Amino acid sequence: MTQLWGVRPRWRTDVLGDFFCPGCGGDRNYRRQHGRRWLRLFGTPVLPLGPVLGSVQCTNCLGRYGLESLEQPTSGRLTGLLRDAHYTIALALLAAGGTNAAAARTEAGELVRDAGFEDCGEAQLLAALAALLGLDAGEPVDLQADGGGLLVELHAALEPLAPHLAQQGRERLLLQGARIALADGRYLPQERAALTAVGGCLRLAEDVVDRLLEAATRTAH
């Protein structure tokens, strides 16, 4: 039965989009809405009261969530970010170690294919590197000095991802870079510098990076 008097908001939709719905636990469509509370008589709005905070409604479960729920990336976007992170780390470590090392090329190729670039072979990786660096990275490259856009690429690929990964996930990414560096022997100074940059972009503390990289040398061989 409808109440005689009541107060309920009336919503207006500003934007439609897709988000990760905390209620459904998956990617869904949402409508972002703002509203105003209305005094209602038999359910009919008769008198506007104050505005209510904007919110997001899932079109699937109809749950209403705060605007901060839009800051969480969708699963689709997170997958894309992770794939790009793997790819960029592989490129950076391959450049830092020099592409003459066959074992490093193999390791980098595997990382990139495991990440979802199934058709990306060594040839494509080398071509991408040559294009970025403007040179043939046969010898180890100091990313800080001669890395072309690679350091920028690292920041662009890793920084948006870092807040959404647990510590363990960020450590795992760093260790995948370490594996490429160690594939052809111990860390070169260029590789060590590249891994430090990766750790920084992933918001890992310096002592954590040192400890992980040190541990990786003991398990690599």
Q: Which spans in the chain are helix H?
A: 75-97, 102-114, 122-133, 143-146, 150-158, 167-182, 189-201, 206-220
Joined tokens for residue 100: 């003459």
* Cβ proximity to Zn ion, 29 vs 144, nearer residue: 29
Phi, psi of 146 (to 5 degrees): -120, 15
* Cβ proximity to Zn ion, 64 vs 155, nearer residue: 64
* Cβ proximity to Zn ion, 16 vs 61, nearer residue: 61
* Cβ proximity to Zn ion, 48 vs 76, nearer residue: 76
Binding of residue 24 to Zn ion (CB under 5 A): yes
Joined tokens for residue 152: 């920028």
Binding of residue 58 to Zn ion (CB under 5 A): yes
* Cβ proximity to Zn ion, 60 vs 72, nearer residue: 60
Using an 8 Å Cβ cutoff, are 58 and 30 in contact?
yes
Using an 8 Å Cβ cutoff, are 97 and 104 in contact?
yes
- Select from 23, 121, 148, 200 the one that contacts Zn ion (CB under 5 A): 23
The total number of residues written for the chain in this structure:
221
Instruction: Count CB neighbours of 48 within 10 A.
Output: 11
Binding of residue 61 to Zn ion (CB under 5 A): yes
Q: Which stretch binds Zn ion (CB under 5 A): 19-27, 77-85, 97-105, 160-168?
A: 19-27
- Select from 27, 37, 45, 60 the one that contacts Zn ion (CB under 5 A): 60
Binding of residue 21 to Zn ion (CB under 5 A): yes
Using an 8 Å Cβ cutoff, are 115 and 89 in contact?
no
Binding positions for Zn ion, rule: CB under 5 A: 21, 23-24, 28, 58, 60-61
